[in-house]
Chains A and B, each alone.
Chain A
């Protein structure tokens, strides 16, 4: 194939690649670069290199040094086990050797840095001070995710099972349950804000009128706000899991159940021996989607509580957004990287577990 034809063929992908490069690839690597900088308070384009200080501020010096040490040791262990051998054919033996040496060197550097940092800490007697505001916002995100994984997914599963059985009316339920995910987070969040806020107290009024007046309380007050946010998120989001699980349930062949029935298996048995094992990949998919979707929520808290009262519902991405608003771009990038790393680790290990269960 000649050059000209190659160029013509390539031009089909070019517009996509151009946009993708500028809006995804460059920002992706730029995040790493930005996280090593601190912007001046007046102009975010005026960046000063500060090294790993943002990470030290987030983790505290002690934990950061410990993490560097752990990373160093695991790199060295990894290199000595010589995992590279698998990668290479005979021709690439020398490449594997070089990679091994580079990894050992990098691991050694991290280890030396870590030891040096610890010696320095003990000399300067630095106090232990991780960025609690940030870690609390991460904790809140995961608190909501916990609700999503338990309450939201159980509800979705229960409803999907119910609709799977009640086949005739199932169509209407599908339409109704999926309405909330289709509407934007802002609309739902603001609607709930009016319903739940202490004044005029619509929801409390509703509770009183059905005789549950003792449950009435300030749902968006400082004790309840985070849980209210979590439950609201579950209520808005269960439709996704519901639809995916329902589609999964309907692919299980009816004959399997009937065969089991003839063999004398009761309903519970059929559920645990047929339904659950058949659905494992889909259940894991829903779990991963729930985690990725919930940890990164921003629209709902912004509309419902704006992070308040007194920061009690400031979730992690909202915190990053606030840092950006205060033109702490470097710090916000570092926070984003840490959160992204947590999410990638979580979802990939879940994928691995699901593959292990399958085989």
Chain B
């Protein structure tokens, strides 16, 4: 049965490759969590490859009390939450307007939004910095949130618009006959129907805001306003972050674990949302 052997061998090679890469993706995080539970001196001796002699949460306590991680964490939650809500409302309104309502310049606005998705401006943060500074929004929460709303806006409008285009018009018609205004049709009929689109928009933007670095770095210089990514970067450059490896790893664990857990619970939706977002853009 040479054919059978050949096939088995083939599968063996495939799985070896897959498992090796998969291990390389998982191992660093297991290693990170393991190391974060030991004192630095122990880590330097065993390089984090052995289980801790005695589990201790000293590093975690430090990251929250001295490392300011709690503030960064809450900031990130606040920014993500507000930005995503704003994006969902604003972009579904706009998507509905572009898909169903008539007004002058509609197509122009839509093409502009499309063009914005296709033209990269690698240095967009430079003019934004100057503009925000000149209107006094630099180093404010609202400035950062608005900037992040803008980052996710064009893609989300596009997603909503294409979704609304595919919906049949009957439901709206009957609502209109019942005397609903346009705003109420949007809120009571269209928005609930658009749940799949909302799911993609929420997931894509939430991860985008949570992981965003450069705009936060440019806009926010006050430590109390910084989100987690910038906070981690600052912490890693402090004297503790540079020398106490296990403390830094505790901070990284605090930042990574919630995302990993949410990801494992919602992996199907997250993978779908992220790829939908990436391929449209």
Q: Which A residues are within 8 Å of any B CB, using their own CB?
A: 1, 6-10, 12-13, 15-17, 19-20, 22-28, 30-31, 34, 44-45, 155, 158-159, 162-163, 165-166, 169, 172-187, 190-195, 200-202, 205-206, 209, 235, 240, 243-244, 247, 285, 289, 292, 295-296, 298-299, 302-303, 306, 316-317, 320-321, 324, 329, 332-333, 335-337, 339-340, 343-344, 347
Contact = CB atoms under 8 A, between A and B. Distances in A.
- Give chain A's interface secondary structure class: helix
- Give chain B's interface secondary structure class: helix
B249 interface: yes
A330 to B, nearest CB: 9
A23 B214 contact: no
A221 to B, nearest CB: 17
Interface in B235-254: 236-237, 245, 248-249, 252
A344 B116 CA distance: 12
Given A175-B267, A183-B259, A235 B24 contact: yes
A31 B121 contact: yes
B249 A30 contact: no
Interface string B186-224: 100000000000000000000100110110011000000
Contacts of B263: 179, 182
A191 B123 contact: no
A302 B130 contact: no
Given A166-B14, A340-B121, A9 B103 contact: yes
Nearest to A165: B14
A117 B279 CA distance: 45
Contact of A155 (B21, B133, B147): B21
User: Taking each of B236, B237, B260, which has the highest tally of chain A beta carbons within 10 Å of its own beta carbon?
Assistant: B236
A296 B213 CA distance: 13
A13 B109 contact: yes
User: Taking each of A31, A187, A201, A240, which has the highest tally of chain B beta carbons within 10 Å of its own beta carbon?
Assistant: A187
Given A186-B232, A200-B43, A329-B130, A180 B25 contact: yes
B218 A324 contact: yes
B131 A317 contact: no
B56 interface: no
B123 A187 contact: no
B49 to A, nearest CB: 8
